Amino acid sequence: MQLSEEHILDFQKLYKKHFGKDISKREALEKGLSVLKIVRQMVTHYEKESN
Q: Each residue of 8-37: pLDDT tens digit?
A: 999 999 999 999 999 999 999 999 999 999
Prediction pTM value:
0.83
What is the C-alpha separation between 35 and 1, in angstroms, rounded?
12
* Burial (CB count within 10 angstroms: exposed 0-12, middle 13-18, buried 19+), residue 7: middle
Query: Letter for the amino acid at 37?
Result: K
Q: Whose CA is closest to 9, among 22, 33, 27, 28?
A: 28
Give one word for 20, left, alpha or beta, with left for phi > 0 and alpha for psi -120 to 50. Answer: left
